[in-house]
Amino acid sequence: MWAIELPPFVPFFVAAALALVTRGQLRNVIMLAAPVLGGLHLLAVPEGIHLQMSFLDYELTPYRVDKLSLIFGFAFHIAAFIAILYALHIKDTVQQLAGILYAGSALGAVFAGDLLTLFVFWELLALSSVFLIWARRSTRSFFAGIRYLIVQVLSGVVLLVGILFHASETGSLAFAEIGIGSLAGWLILFAFGVKCAFPFLHNWLTDAYPEATPTGTVFLSAFTTKVAVYALARSYPGTELLIYVGAAMACFPIFFAVIENDLRRVLAYSLINQVGFMVVGIGIGTALSINGAVSHAFNDIIFKGLLFMSMGAVLHMTGRINGSDLGGLYKTMPRTTILCIVGAASISAFPLFSGFVSKSMVMSAAIEEGYGWIWLMLLFASAGVFHHAGIKIPYFAFFAHDSGIRVSDPPLNMQLAMFIAAVLCVTIGVNPSILYALLPYDTGYSPYDATHVLAQTQLLFFSALAFVWLNRRGLYPPELRSTNLDVDWVYRRLVPTALQRLFARLNVITELNKTLAAKLSTLSPLVARQFSAEGIFASTHPVGAMVKTVTVLLALYLVLSFV
Amino acid sequence: MLAHLPVLHVIIPMMAAPACLILRRRDLVWFVALAATLMSFAVSIGLLLQVLESGPISYEFGGWEAPWGIEYRIDLLNAPLLLLVSGISAVALFAARKSIEAEIPKDRHALFYIAWLLCMAGLLGILATGDAFNVFVFLEISSLSAYTLIALGKNRKALWASYQYLIAGTIGATFILIGIGLMYMMTGTLNMADLSERLPEVSSSRTVFTAFAFFIVGVCLKLALFPLHVWLPNAYAYAPSVVTAFLAATATKVAVYILIRFKYGIFGFDFAFSSLPLQSIFLTLGLAGIFVASIAAIFQDNLKKLLAYSSVAQIGYLIVGLGLANETGLMATLLHMLNHGLMKGALFLALAAIVYRLGEAKLSEMHGLASRMPWTMAAFLIGGLSLIGVPLTVGFVSKWYLVTAALEHDWWPVAGLILLGSVVSVIYVWKVVEVVYFKAANERTAEVREAPLSILAPTWVLVAANLYFGINTELTVGITRMAAVSIFGGL
C-alpha cells in the first residue's frame, strides 16, 4: 500500500483545493473521488501510529489508527460519499467546499492521536460547517449560523483550556482515556458535551440544523455529534454520569419532537435522542455497550442521513417543510416515500433494519449491568422514536390530508444517494455480521433471538396502535404553526430582556446625573465649567500627562525600594 | 573578515547612510539601503550559526581589552533578535519603494532611506554592544532617526506625533542615562560583564536602588508599558506605513531586550526581584495593559491605531512573562518578542498595501475590501489569527508557554486573564473581518485593485514565517529555551 502515512483528511482537503479551480463535471468527479479513493485507501491501512512529529515539547500523533477510529473512519467516508452525491446538483462553490472540508475535518478529528490535533480539527469542524448554514443566505440562517458558531467556538476554547490543564498536570497530550478525576477532565467533558448536544447544551443543534440548506443538513447530521460521540468513547468510557445524561438525552427530545411542526427540526430532536442511546452505551462502558454505542453511531449516520435526505428532497421540490403545509405527496413522489419509510423503519429499530441490530446491544448491556430504570427509559425512548420519527415524519409529509401539492421525485443524484443509504440500512439489518466485524470488541452478540425480536415487535405494534388511537380520537397534537420554547429561551429572550431592563435602570442614573449637572451649573457656573469638555478635569494634555505619569511611577519605584 | 563579523552588521548600515547622502538618486539610494540591510541580515545569520556552534562571541573594539575598551558581545539572547531586526528591515525595505511613493514627497525619499539605515544601525548596536554607555548612544541614534521617520508621515499630525514621541523618548533616554551614570559612579565601570560583578558589592546602597528605579522607568517608557504608552498609538498611526511596520516589529522588542539584559545580566535576578516588588508591579501593569489596550483597540476606527493599541497589549504579554519570574516565563517572553515581531510586521505590511490602494486606514472606508484585495486581506486575516493565538500560527506557541509559565506557579487567575485577553483580541480582529469580508463593497472600494506585487510579496514572506514557525517550532523554541536556561543557569 502506498503512502501509509497519508492521513485520511488529506484527500478531502486536496479535493477541496482542486474543486476551487475546476467547474462542472470535472469538479463533480473530483469531489466524488475523494471519499471513494480515501475509503479504499483506508481499507488497506493497518492499525498503529502512522505519523508522528514533535511540536513544542510534545510528541504529536496526527494519524493513529485503531479499531475504534477505523469504524468511525469508514462511517464518515460512506456518509461523505452519500452526502456529496446527494448535493451533486448544487452549483454553489461555497456549499460544496464547506461540505468537503467539513467531512475532512471530521476524519482528521477521528484519527487524531493527540489532543492538540483534535483541537485543531474541532475548530475546523465548526468553521467549515457554519458555511453550510449560511449558504441558505437568509437572515434567519445568518443569525442561526452566528449563534451556532459562537457555541461551537466556545466549546473549542473550553477544550483548549482543558487541554492546557491536562498537559500541565500529566505532561502528556495523548488523546486517550481522561476521566473526570480532575478539573481538566471536567472541562474537556464539557467541551465534548457541547458538541454532543448534552441536555441544556443542545440548542445549537435544533436551532441551526433546520436552518441549513437541504443538502447542508445531510452533512451536518453525520459529523459533528458523531465526532463528539467518538471523543467520549475514547476519553470517557465507563463514566457513570454519562448513563444518566444519555438517558435524559434519549427521553426529553421526544416531547419536543412530537409537538414540533418543522419536520427537519423533528429530525434534529430525534438526532439528540439517538445520540442519547450512544452516550448511555459509552457510560455503561462494557465491551458490549461500547460496541452498541459505536455500531449505533455507524447506523445512525446512515439512517438519519437517509431521513434528512428525504425531508431535504421534500423541501427541495416543494419549498416547504412544515408538517401543516404538506401531505399526500406519496402520489407523485413514490420513490422518496418508500426510501423515507426504509429510513423510518431503521430508526425505529424494526427487525431486519439496521437500527435493530445496534440499539438492542445498548439495551441488553443496560439490563446486564443492572440498570433497570435506565432500560425502562430507553424502552420509552424507543417507543417515542417510532412515534415521532418512524410514523410522524412519513405520515405528515407523504400521507395525512392531501395538501394538493403535485411535485415529482427529486433529481436523479438525490434519489441515488437515498437509494444507497436505504440499501445499506437493509443490508446491515439483514446481515449484521458485516458491521460486527468492524467493531472494537468481539462479543459474539446475536440480535436475532426470540426475546429480542418479539419484545421489539410488540413495542412497535403497541406504539403504532397508540398513534392510530390518538389520531382517531383527535387527541394527537395537531400540526400547528407555532414556536416551541426550549432552553434557548433563556439566552435568546430572558437574558436580553433582563439586560434591557438593567440598562433602562442605568438610564435613570444618567438622567439623574443630567439634572444634577444642570443644578450644579445654575448654582456655580465656575465649578461646572471645570467638568465640561474644556475644563481642567476633562481636557487632555497627552505630553504633560505622560510626564506626570512618568514622575509618579518613578516616585513609586523609589518609595517601594526604600520601604 | 570573519573575526570582525560581530561589528559588521552595525558598521555596514552606518557607513551606507552617509554614502546614500552623497548618491542622492532615489532608486540608487533604495538599492544601496537594501543591499546594506541584506548584508546585515547575512551577517546576523552567520553570527547566530556561530553562537549556536561555539557559544558567546566577544569582540574587542580596536583591540582594547574588555573592561577598558568597548566590547561587543553576541550570545543566544541577542543573536535571534539581530536576525529579527535586520530581517524585518530587509523585508519592509522591499515594500518601502512602492509604498512611500504614495506617502512621501519624492525629494525626501533619499532622506527617508538614510534615516532608516541609521535607525536600523542604532537598533542593531543596542543589541550587540556589551557596554552600558554604548547602549545609550545607540538608543539615541535609533530614536533620533525614528523621530525623523515618523515626522515624514503624510498627515500633518505626524509632526505632532513625532514631537510627542520625541519628548517621551528623550525623557526615557535621560532616565536611562541617569541610571547608567549612577551605576558608573558606584562601580567605576561601564562594561556589562564587569558591572554585574561589581554591583553586588554595593547593592545595598541607595544610589544603586535609585539607579535601578531610574533605569527601569526609563526603559518602560521606551517600551511603552501601560500606562507609559501614550506616545505609541499616535506615533504608529501617523508615521508612513512601512515605518510603522518596521518600528512596531522591532523598536519595542529592542527596548524589552534592554530591560531583560539589565535586569538579569547586570542587576541580577535576586536584586531585581527581592529588593523591589518588581514581580507584582510587572504582573499588574502587564495585565492591566493587556486589557486596557485591547479594549481601547476595539473602539478604534483607524486601523493603524487599532493595531498600535494591540501592540501595547502585546507588550503587556511580554511584561507578564517577565513578571512570572521563572524560566518558562522568560522563555515565553523571548519567544513572543520574535513572534510578535513576525505577526505585527505582517499585519502592518498588509495595512501598508491597503493604504497604498485606498489612501487611508479608516475601517469605515473598507467595506467589502476583501473581494477587491483578496491576497492582502488573506494576509491580514492570517496575521490576525496569529495575534489571537490560533494553533498553527506563531501566536499560539508563545501564548502556550506563557500560560504554562503561569500554571507552573499555580497562578490560575493569571493564566485565565491571559486567555481572556486573547478572547478580547478576537473581538477586534473580528471587527475588521466583518467589515472587509461580510459587508458589500461601496463605491469607494469598488474601484480598488489588488496591491502591487512589490508590497504583497514581502507581506506574504512574513505571513509564511508566521505559519512556518507556528508549525515547526524547533528553531525558535530551541534557541529561546537555551537562552532562558543560560540566563537562569548563570544565577
Cα gap A295→A445, rounded to integer Å? 12
Question: In a mutagenesis test of the A interface, which of B221, B238, B328 is the best target, namely the one with the most A β-carbons within 10 Å?
Answer: B221
Residue of A nearest to B275 (CA): A561
Contacts of A560 in chain B (CB under 8 A): 276-277, 281
Inter-chain residue contact B221 with A550, CB threshold 8 Å:
yes
Inter-chain residue contact A557 with B217, CB threshold 8 Å:
yes
Count the neighbouring beta carbons within 10 Å of the beta carbon of residue A26: 12
**pLDDT tens-digit readout, A235-284:** 999 899 999 999 999 999 998 888 888 889 999 999 999 999 999 999 99
Whether residue A561 lies within 8 A of chain B, CB to CB, comes out as yes
Inter-chain residue contact B415 with A164, CB threshold 8 Å:
yes
ipTM at complex level? 0.74
**Mean pLDDT, rounded, for B442-459:** 87
Cα gap A179→B339, rounded to integer Å? 35
pLDDT for position A534: 53
Cα gap A518→A532, rounded to integer Å? 12
pLDDT for position A83: 94
- E strands of A183-232, at which residues? none
Q: Which is more confident, A528 or A145?
A: A145
The answer to pTM > 0.80 is no
pLDDT for position A234: 93
pLDDT for position A519: 75
pLDDT for position B410: 84
Contacts of B474 in chain A (CB under 8 A): 54
Q: Which of A145-154, B94-103, B119-128 has the highest mean pLDDT?
A: B119-128
Whether the CB-CB separation of A558 and B213 falls below 8 Å is answered with yes
Whether the CB-CB separation of A265 and A212 falls below 8 Å is answered with no
Inter-chain residue contact A549 with B214, CB threshold 8 Å:
no
By Cβ distance, the residue of B230, B392, B404 closest to A542 is B230
Res A141 pLDDT > 90: no
Whether residue B164 lies within 8 A of chain A, CB to CB, comes out as yes
Query: What's the mean pLDDT when you consider all of chain A?
Result: 86
**Mean pLDDT, rounded, for B134-139:** 94
Whether residue A562 lies within 8 A of chain B, CB to CB, comes out as yes
DSSP result, B379-448 = HHHHHHHHHHT-TTSHHHHHHHHHHHHHHHTT-HHHHHHHHHHHHHHHHHHHHHHIIIIISPP-HHHHT-
Inter-chain residue contact A545 with B214, CB threshold 8 Å:
no
| H or E element, residue A477 | none
Contacts of A558 in chain B (CB under 8 A): 209-210, 213
**pLDDT tens-digit readout, B158-173:** 898 899 899 999 999 9
Q: Which is more confident, A48 or A220?
A: A220
Phi/psi for A174 (5° steps) reads: -60, 135
Cα gap B434→B384, rounded to integer Å? 13
pLDDT for position A2: 57
Cα gap A193→A191, rounded to integer Å? 5
**Mean pLDDT, rounded, for A470-488:** 73
Whether residue B230 lies within 8 A of chain A, CB to CB, comes out as yes
Residue of A nearest to B416 (CA): A161
Question: In a mutagenesis test of the B interface, which of A116, A153, A546 is the best target, namely the one with the most B β-carbons within 10 Å?
Answer: A546
Cα gap B371→A141, rounded to integer Å? 22
Whether residue A55 lies within 8 A of chain B, CB to CB, comes out as yes
Contact residues for A318 (Cβ-Cβ < 8 A; gap 6+): A325, A326, A329, A405, A407
Contacts of A123 in chain B (CB under 8 A): 390-391
**pLDDT tens-digit readout, A431-475:** 988 888 888 888 888 888 888 888 888 888 888 888 888 878 877
Whether the CB-CB separation of A231 and A278 falls below 8 Å is answered with no
Contacts of B469 in chain A (CB under 8 A): none
DSSP letter for A387, please: I
Contacts of A550 in chain B (CB under 8 A): 171, 175, 217, 221, 228
Phi/psi for A163 (5° steps) reads: -65, -40
Sign of the CA dihedral with B353 first, then B359, B364, and B370 last: negative
Q: Which is more confident, B268 or B238?
A: B238
| B86 grid coordinates | 535586520
Q: Which residues of B297-322 are buried (b: 16+ CB within 10 A; e: fewer)?
A: beebebbbbbbbbbbbbbbbbbbbbb
Cα gap A478→A392, rounded to integer Å? 11
Whether residue B170 lies within 8 A of chain A, CB to CB, comes out as no
Domain boundaries, chain A: 1-150+208-225, 237-480, 534-563
Longest dimension (CA), chain A: 97
pLDDT for position A538: 44
Contact residues for A215 (Cβ-Cβ < 8 A; gap 6+): A83, A86, A87, A90, A95, A99, A312
Looking at the DSSP bridge assignments, the partners of residue A114 are A174
Whether residue A21 lies within 8 A of chain B, CB to CB, comes out as no
| A350 grid coordinates | 424494526
Residue type, A381: A
Residue of A nearest to B225 (CA): A550
Question: In a mutagenesis test of the A interface, which of B271, B403, B417, B425 is the best target, namely the one with the most A β-carbons within 10 Å?
Answer: B403
Whether residue A116 lies within 8 A of chain B, CB to CB, comes out as yes
pLDDT for position A563: 66
Whether residue A56 lies within 8 A of chain B, CB to CB, comes out as yes
Owner of C-alpha cell 464518515:
A76
DSSP letter for B131, please: B
Question: In a mutagenesis test of the A interface, which of B400, B404, B437 is the best target, namely the one with the most A β-carbons within 10 Å?
Answer: B400
Q: How many CB pairs under 8 A join A and B?
A: 80
Q: Which of A157-161, A398-402, B92-96, B485-489 has the highest mean pLDDT?
A: B92-96
Contact residues for A495 (Cβ-Cβ < 8 A; gap 6+): none
SS3 B302: strand
By Cβ distance, the residue of B171, B209, B391 closest to A547 is B171
pLDDT for position A532: 54
Inter-chain residue contact B210 with A561, CB threshold 8 Å:
yes
Cα gap B175→B217, rounded to integer Å? 7
Q: Could you say which residues from 26 to 85 on chain B have a Cβ atom under 8 Å away from some Cβ of chain A?
A: none
Whether residue A139 lies within 8 A of chain B, CB to CB, comes out as no
**pLDDT tens-digit readout, B215-244:** 999 999 999 888 888 889 889 999 999 999
**Mean pLDDT, rounded, for A491-511:** 75
Percentage of chain A modeled with pLDDT above 70:
94
**pLDDT tens-digit readout, A10-56:** 899 999 999 888 888 888 899 999 999 998 888 888 888 778 887 77
Inter-chain residue contact A56 with B392, CB threshold 8 Å:
no
Residue type, B34: L
Contact residues for A519 (Cβ-Cβ < 8 A; gap 6+): none
By Cβ distance, the residue of B164, B281, B477 closest to A543 is B164
Contacts of A562 in chain B (CB under 8 A): 206, 209
Exposed (0-12), middle (13-18) or buried (19+): which is A322, by Cβ within 10 Å?
A: middle
pLDDT for position A539: 45
pLDDT for position A1: 45
SS3 B138: helix
Q: Which is more confident, A536 or B48?
A: B48
Report residue A391's pLDDT band, with 50, 70 and 90 as the boundaries: confident
Contacts of B171 in chain A (CB under 8 A): 547, 550
Cα gap B415→B406, rounded to integer Å? 6
Please report, for residues A37, B134, B181, the alpha-carbon distance to residue B188 in angstroms, rounded to integers and kept in the order given. Answer: 76, 15, 10
**Mean pLDDT, rounded, for A178-202:** 90
Q: Could you say which residues from 387 to 446 on chain B have a Cβ atom under 8 Å away from some Cβ of chain A?
A: 390-392, 397, 400-401, 403-404, 407-408, 415, 419, 423
pLDDT for position B180: 93
Inter-chain residue contact B277 with A164, CB threshold 8 Å:
no
CA of B213 vs chain A CAs: smallest distance (Å) = 6
Whether residue B485 lies within 8 A of chain A, CB to CB, comes out as no
Inter-chain residue contact A546 with B281, CB threshold 8 Å:
no
CA of B293 vs chain A CAs: smallest distance (Å) = 16
CA-closest candidate to residue A37, choices A100, A93, A129: A100
| H or E element, residue A2 | none
Report residue A542's pLDDT band, with 50, 70 and 90 as the boundaries: low
pLDDT for position A275: 94
Res B207 pLDDT > 90: no
**pLDDT tens-digit readout, A311-354:** 999 999 998 888 888 888 888 899 999 999 999 999 998 888 99
Res A189 pLDDT > 80: yes
**pLDDT tens-digit readout, A99-128:** 999 999 999 999 999 998 999 999 999 989
Whether the CB-CB separation of A233 and A293 falls below 8 Å is answered with yes
CA-closest candidate to residue B14, choices B137, B99, B158: B137
Domain boundaries, chain B: 277-491
CA of B13 vs chain A CAs: smallest distance (Å) = 33
